[in-house]
A and B are shown apart, each in its own frame.
Chain A
Amino acid sequence: MNRKFAAAAAVSIAATLSLAACSGGVSTAPSATSDNKPVTISVSGWSLTTTPEFQVLADGFHKQHPNVTVQVKDYDAANYATLLTADLAAGTAPDVVAIKQVTDMVTFASGGQLVDVSDVKLSDGIKGASSYKLDGKQYAIPYRLDGNVLFYNKDLFKAAGVPDPDGTWTWDDYTAAAEKLKTGLKSAGSSALPAYLHTWNSQVQSFATAQTPKADMLSGNYAYMKPYYEQALKMQDEGLQLPFATASANKTTYQAEFGKQQAAMELMGSWYVATLLAQQKSGDADKFQWGMAPVPQRTSATAGTDKKPVTFGDPTGFAINVKTDGAKLTAAKEFLSYVESEKAAESLAQIGISPALVTDAVTKTFFGQQGIPTDSLSKFAWGSQKIAPQNPPSPKTPIASTALTAMHSAIMTGSTSLDKAISDAGAQFKNQAG
C-alpha cells in the first residue's frame, strides 16, 4: 500500500514535471532560450563610441534572454553600406545587420542576402515598418524613426517680438513669420537670420513628396516640387535664410547654425534633439530656450494640433543575414522582436533616441531628459506627426536620388531655371532607370 502510494506519487510528480516542462517549452517556443543553451549572435553597428543605441539594445535583450549573448561589431559609419556589402558578399557579415538606409535594405534583400522576417510580430502603432517591405515581404524591423520637426529658438522669438509657432503653420505662415522675425531681430540688434535651410535636397524635396497627394519620387515627374522650391527660393531671395551657395561653399553645419543662434528656426530630424542637448551641456552650443513645432504644411487641412501634420523620415532597423540558421536564427528573430518592443523603445528614449514605437510611456521617458523642452507642442511635434517615408523601398530610389541631388543644387544656386532643372532631373531619372 505504502509502496503503491509512493509509486503513484512518483508517477504523478513526474507527469506534472514533464507537463510543466512542456508548457514551459510551449510558452517560449520556438525559442532558442527554451533549452537554455547559450547562443551568441553578432549584430552590426557603427561608431559605437558615439552611437550607444546598439549596446543599449544588446544589453536590454541580454537581460530578457540571459542565455543569448549579443556581440556588436563596429563599422565605420561613413562607409557602412560599402563595408557591409563587402562582408555580406564574402559571407562574413554578422547574423543581424543594422540597416542604416532604406536603400541598403533594398540592395541586400534583392541580392538575396536577407531573411524574410514577416513572421516577426510587430507592436501596434509601430511606425516605419512599411519602408522595409519589398514585394510584399518584410525584410527588416524598425527600431528608430526620426521625423523632421521645426526647431525654434524661443529666446530669439521673444527678442523679435514674434509669437511662437502654434502648430497650425502652413508654408506661407512659416515665410510670413520669417519676415516678421527679420525685422524684429534687426530692431532687437540681433544678427541672427530668421531661418536656416540645410543644403540637403531632402530639405525641400522630401517635404514636397510627403505632403503632396499622389506625389511619387519614382515617377520622374517632379513638377509637384515646384511650389516648395518657389517658397525656398523666396526665403533665400528675401534674405530670410542663408543662401544655399554660401551654405554649401562654407560647409555650414546645421548644429552650429541653430546651436550658436545664427538662425531662429531650423527644420531638422528629431535626431538633432540628443545632439542639441549634449552640445548645450558641453558648451558647444549656446544655452537658450528652444522648442519643437510640427513642420509647416502644404494646406491648412493637415495643419493643427487637432490634425495629423505630415512630415517625413526614414526608419533605422535590423535585418537578418541569410546565412544565419538554427538556434542563431531563432535568437536573431527574438532580437528583432525585442528591438521594436515598448521596453526597447523606452530604453532608447532614455538616451535621447526617437524610437519607431511611440507610446505615452515612451514620450514620458523621452521628455524626462534633462534640458529638453516640455511644452505640449514639442511633445506633439515629436510624437504625433504623420511620418511619411522619405525613400521608397525600390532599386530605383538611388537613381532618383542622384538626379534629385543634381536638381537641388542647380535650382538652389540659381544657376538653372526651375522648369529646366525639373525637366532635366526627370529626363536623367528616366534615362538611367530604363
Chain B
Amino acid sequence: MTAIATDVDTSPTPPLPRRRSRLRRRNSLIGWSFILPNFLGFALLTLIPVVTLFYLGFTNWNIFGTANWTGLANFQRLLGDTTFHTAVLNTFYYAVLHIPLTFVVSLGLALLLNTKLRGVAFFRTAAFFPYITSIVAIAVVWNLLFSPQYGPINQLLHFVGIANPPTWLQSTTWALPATVIVSTWRDMGYYMVLFLAGLQTVPRELHEAARVDGASVWQRFWNVTMPCLRPTTFFVTVMLTINSFKVFDLILVMTNGGPGNATLVLSQFIYQTAFVQNQFGYASAASIVLFLICIVVTIIQFLINKRRSA
C-alpha cells in the first residue's frame, strides 16, 4: 500500500505497464492468500499422497523399509489375480445397477416434489434424511430389515405369497442387488436436491408455450424439461458414476465383501490388500487401475455431453 503511495508521489508520470504489473501481482497475492489455507490442506492430505501412490504402484512397499522399484510386476500380478477380477466385475455390476436406478428415482422424486404440493418441504426433508444418516446405522438397520428369517422385508414377501424369498445379504446372488437398493435409498435425497435446483432453472414460459401448442405432459418432459436440465443431468451422471466406482463404506459395514466374495468391490480389495495384508505397493497398483477406470468413464461422458450440446 505504502509502496504504491510513494511510487505515485515520487513520479508524477509513472510508467503505466509497471504499475499494472504490480497491481496484478498484488491481486494475485491476495488471491493466493485466499486459496492457500485450503490448498495447503489439499496438497498435504490429497495431492502429495495421490502423487506418491502413483510411484508406490510400481514398487513392492509394505509400509516399513524401502520401496523397491518392481516396474510393471504389480500390474502383471493384477492381470492374473482372480480375486481382483471378481472385484472389478462386482464394481461394474454395482455401477450398472446403481447409476440408472438412482438417476431415475431421484429425478422422479425431484419432479414430484417440484410441484406445489401441501407439505412439500416436509417431503423434501424426509427424502434427504437418509443422506445425512450415519452409514453404520444404515447398515445395521438394513441388515435387520433384510434378515432372511425374521426380517420385515421377507415377512412381507411371505405375506404377499412369495414362498421362497431371497436371503438378500446372505446370498451370493442377491447380496449385491440388496446393497444397491440401500445405496439408492441413501443417495436419492442428495441427487434429488441437485435435480430440484436444476428444475428451478427451467423457464416457465417454455412449458406454457408447449402447453399452448398442445404438448402432452410426456412430450413436455422430453422436449422441454430434459433439454433444459442437461447441465444438471451431466453433473449428476458424472458424480454418480465416480461414486459408484469408489463405493466402499456402505459395503464394508453391510457385508464386508461377503458372502464369499459376492460383494467384494474394488475399493475394498484395495483396503484389504493394503491395510489387512500390508501389500501397499500392490494395493497402490490396484488404486491406479480404479483411477484409470474412473477417468476413462468420465472422459467418455464429457465427450458424449459435448457432442449432445453441439
Q: Which residues of A contact B (CB under 8 A)?
A: 82, 85, 88-89, 107-108, 110-113, 243-246, 248-251, 395, 398-399, 401-402, 405-407, 409-410, 412-413, 415-416, 421, 424, 427-428, 431-432, 434
Q: Are B169 and A434 in contact (CB under 8 A)?
A: no
Q: In whole angstroms, how far apart are the Cα atoms of A107 and B277 in the complex?
A: 9
Flag whether B100 is at the interface (Cβ < 8 A). no
Interface residues on B, range: 35 or more
Question: Are the C-beta atoms of A249 and B146 separated by less than 8 Å?
Answer: yes
Asked whether B143 lies within 8 Å of A415 as measured between CB atoms, the reply is no
Cross-chain contact B64 with A89 (CB below 8 angstroms):
yes
Q: Report the separation of the CA atoms of residues A246 and B146 in the bound assembly, to the nearest whole angstrom.
A: 10
Whether B276 pairs with A421 at a CB distance below 8 angstroms is no
CB of A26 to closest CB in B, whole Å:
38
Interfacial chain B residues near A111, Cβ < 8 Å = 62-65
Most chain A CB within a 10 A radius of its CB, from B83, B144, B149, B276 = B83
Q: Cβ of B149: which chain A residues have Cβ within 8 Å of it?
A: 243, 245-246
Q: Which residues of B contact A250 (CB under 8 A)?
A: 143-144, 147, 150
Are B64 and A88 neighbours in the complex by a CB distance under 8 Å?
yes
Contact B147 A427, beta carbon cutoff 8 Å: no
Chain A contacts for B172, CB-based, 8 A: 410, 413, 415-416
B64 engages A427 (CB within 8 Å): no
Pick from A246, A399, A405, A428: contact of B258, CB below 8 A.
A405
A295–B250 Cα distance when bound, in Å, is 37
- List 21 contacting pairs A-B, 8 Å CB cutoff, sorted by A: A82-B275, A107-B62, A111-B62, A111-B63, A111-B65, A246-B149, A248-B170, A249-B146, A250-B143, A250-B147, A250-B150, A395-B278, A399-B277, A405-B256, A406-B257, A413-B171, A415-B171, A415-B173, A416-B259, A428-B82, A428-B261
Q: Check: B151 CB closer than 8 A to any chain A CB.
A: yes
A432 touches B64 (CB 8 A): no
CA distance A405 to B257 in the complex (A): 10
For B260, list chain A residues within 8 Å (CB).
Answer: 406-407, 409-410, 415-416, 421, 424
Q: Smallest distance from the beta carbon of A314 to chain B beta carbons, Å? A: 16
* B237 CB–A CB distance under 8 Å: no
Tell me the nearest residue of chain A to B80, going by C-beta: A431
Contacts of A107 in B (CB 8 A): 62-64, 278
**Beyond A249-B170, A409-B260, A416-B172: 17 further Cβ-contacts under 8 Å?**
A82-B275, A89-B64, A107-B63, A107-B278, A111-B63, A111-B65, A112-B65, A243-B149, A245-B167, A249-B168, A398-B276, A399-B277, A406-B261, A415-B170, A428-B83, A431-B83, A432-B273
Q: Which parts of B249-280 form the interface with A (CB within 8 Å)?
A: 256-262, 264, 272-273, 275-278
- The listed residue with most B CB atoms (<10 A of its CB), out of A111, A244, A424, A432, is A432
Q: In the complex, what residues of B have CB within 8 A of residue A406's CB?
A: 257-261, 264
A427 to B80, CA, bound (A): 11
**Residues of B134-179 contacting chain A, CB below 8 A:** 140, 143-144, 146-151, 167-173
- With both chains docked as a complex, state the minimum distance between the C-beta of B178 and any C-beta of chain A, in angstroms: 11
Chain B residues with CB under 8 Å of A395's CB are: 278
Q: How many angstroms between the C-alpha atoms of A47 and B242 in the bound complex?
A: 37
C-alpha spacing A421/B83, complex, angstroms: 13
A399 to B259, CA, bound (A): 17
Is residue B213 within 8 Å, beta carbon to beta carbon, of the partner chain? no
Main secondary structure of the interface of B (DSSP, over half): loop
In the assembled complex, how far is the CB of residue A320 from the closest CB belonging to chain B, in whole angstroms?
16
Q: How far is the CB of B93 from chain A (nearest CB, A)?
A: 16
Query: Residues of A contacting B148 with CB < 8 Å?
Result: 243, 245-246, 249
A89 CA to B150 CA in the complex, in Å? 47
The docked-state distance in angstroms from the alpha carbon of A406 to that of B140 is 20
Whether a CB of chain A sits under 8 angstroms from the CB of B25 is: no
Q: Among the listed A249, A398, A434, which residue makes an inter-chain contact with B278, where contact means beta carbons less than 8 Å apart?
A: A398
A187 to B29, CA, bound (A): 84
A428 to B261, CA, bound (A): 10
Asked if B151 contacts A249 (CB within 8 A), the reply is yes
Q: Shortest CB–CB separation between residue B138 and chain A, in angstroms?
A: 13
| Most A Cβ at <10 Å: residue of B259, B276, B278 | B259
Tell me if A431 and B81 are in contact (CB < 8 A): yes
Say yes or no: A245 contacts B170, CB within 8 Å.
yes
Cβ-based interface call for B77 (8 A): yes
Contacts of A421 in B (CB 8 A): 260
Do B77 and A434 touch across chains, with their CB atoms under 8 A apart? yes
Asked whether, in the complex, the Cβ of B65 is within 8 Å of the Cβ of A251, the reply is no
Beta-carbon contacts of B56-68 to A below 8 Å, as 1s and 0s?
A: 0000001111000
Taking CB atoms, residues of chain A closer than 8 Å to B167 are 245, 413, 415
In the complex, what residues of B have CB within 8 A of residue A410's CB? 172, 258-262
B140 touches A432 (CB 8 A): no
Report whether B83 and A409 are in contact in the complex, using a CB–CB cutoff of 8 Å: no
Closest chain B residue to A248 by CB distance? B170
A251 x B170 contact (CB < 8 A):
no
Nearest-neighbour CB distance to chain B for A417, whole angstroms, equals 11
User: B80-110 CB contact bits vs A (8 Å, 1 = yes)?
Assistant: 1111000000000000000000000000000
* In the complex, chain B residues whose CB is within 8 Å of the CB of A428: 82-83, 261
Q: Are B63 and A431 in contact (CB under 8 A)?
A: no
Beyond A243-B149, A246-B148, A415-B262, whether A432 also contacts B65 by CB under 8 A is no
Min CB distance A110 to B, Å, is: 8
Q: How far is the CA of A250 from the CA of B258 in the complex (A)?
A: 15
Contact residues in A for B262 (Cβ distance below 8 Å): 410, 415
B135 CB to closest chain A CB (Å) equals 15
Query: Closest Cβ of chain B: how far from A104's Cβ, in Å?
Result: 10
The residue on B at minimum CB distance from A397 is B277
**Also in contact, A402 and B272, with CB within 8 A (given A245-B167, A250-B143, A410-B259):** yes
Chain B residues near A424: list those with CB within 8 A. 260-261
